[in-house]
Amino acid sequence: MTVKITREFLEKIPKTDLHVHLDGSLRLSTLIELSKAAKVPLPSDTEAGLQELVFKEKYQDLPDYLRGFDLTCAVLQTAESLERVAYELALDNIAENVRYIEVRYAPQLHVRPGFTVEAVVESVHRGLERAQREHNSSPGVRQGTDIPFHYGIITCAMRFFNRHMSAYYAQLFDVMPHAPTKEVMSIASLEMARSAAVLAHDKGIPVVGFDLAGAEAGYPAIDHKEAYQYAHVHFLKKTVHAGEAYGPESIFQAITECHADRLGHGTWLFAADKVKDPGIKDPNYYVKCLVDYVATRRITLEVCPTSNLQTIPSITSVADHPLRKMLDANLSVSINTDNRLVSRTSVTRELELVCENLPVTPAKLRNIILAGFKGSFFGPYNEKRALVRQVINRFDALEHQYLGRVGG
């Protein structure tokens, strides 16, 4: 007998979001309010207008999808705006029973004179910490009937940038006027890794990981190898946007050259037809070995279904998404939003799409949920184990309550 996984059940179960961009996840009302204060012109001053013109259900291509980030980044240039948006993002997740998030963003995009990378990260931390403190002092958490909320911060370096994207980048180009562009990018990512290590280890801010975001094709991760090596030897966890706009070789490079503990998207992991290196004589065997390596090392894939549907035209439905192959191969897969505003989604909605379009049993869903918590960069290890046990107990109790069964 097939058990229907209901929306109510998905709303109630504890969840994670390991791949959520701060600057892609504002509330529309907040964007409008902040734009007025910052004197940033918007294409419309109404939520409905912005959804029609900018934050759509469907996009033409990746540049169309990324258009909204010019607006959101423009209003996130003060400590107050960053703290507010981080606080609201945490509240929105808490409201749908997401109990662990890893908020990622590129601090260098928000730097201006007198407002350093460290100050940017501290502002976001204050907002997240306030939401955590409020939830964790609630009666449900104190009485043990609810799970505490936790968070981590992932700082992103950019694969590519230009001088117009932030004051930080403009200054870097000014002090390196004759350097090759690739070298400028490498220096920026190394500085970001160094700042992340200082914030995590010296200031006690939960900067749990380091990421590389932005245009993937044409801007290989190996150009940022020095930054990842620095993060690696300073005990920062590593994730890389890989396999979203390029093939298996990008994923291989993220793992072997950047020590990736997780993979952002990993969409084209199985795409042997996208292997470009002529030195790879048997692409199918190459992909088979790569998939097996990802599986056995339990390298978690941060899959963002709606985002992929909006930016990859060849994927027309969740049913056709490589997620099906990932689950069939028993890979460690977490389901994430990527950008709550830009993709007009939530964690609950992403899980609902997966359950509606793929043969996901309660047992398979349980594995997906646990993969998010187990694959997270939350620590120390014993605290993570305790959190996972809480999640297991809560999931099983809710499964019995809402689906009338437990396990398998």
Point out the residues that are catalytic: 244
In degrees rounded to 5, what are phi and psi of residue 152? -140, 160
Task: Count other C-beta atoms under 10 Å from residue 318's C-beta.
Answer: 19
**Does residue 338 contact residue 20 with C-beta atoms inside 8 Å?**
yes
Residues 6+ apart with CB under 8 A from 110: 73, 76, 77, 82, 120, 166
CA dihedral 112, 83, 126, 27 (to 10 degrees): -140
- Residue 23 DSSP symbol: G
Q: Which of 220, 315, 318, 308 is nearest to 266 (CA)?
A: 308
The angle at the Cα of 35, spanning 34 to 38, to the nearest 5 degrees, equals: 85
Enter the tokens of residue 222: 């190996």
Segment 65-71 long-range contacts (CB within 8 Å, at least 24 positions apart): 65/307, 65/310, 65/311, 65/342, 68/24, 68/341, 68/342, 69/23, 69/24, 69/342, 71/31, 71/35, 71/40, 71/42
**Does residue 236 contact residue 197 with C-beta atoms inside 8 Å?**
yes
Helix ranges (DSSP H) in 97-179: 117-136, 139-143, 167-175
334: β partners: 302
Residues 6+ apart with CB under 8 A from 32: 42, 45, 46, 47, 50
Question: CA–CA separation, 162 vs 176, rounded Å?
Answer: 13
Query: What spatial distance separates the first Cα and last Cα of the chain, rounded to whole Å?
Result: 12
Question: CA–CA separation, 275 vs 242, rounded Å?
Answer: 14
Sequential DSSP letters for 226-291: HHHHHHHHTT-EEEEEESSSS-HHHHHHHHHHH--SEEEE-TTTT-GGG---TT-S-HHHHHHHHH
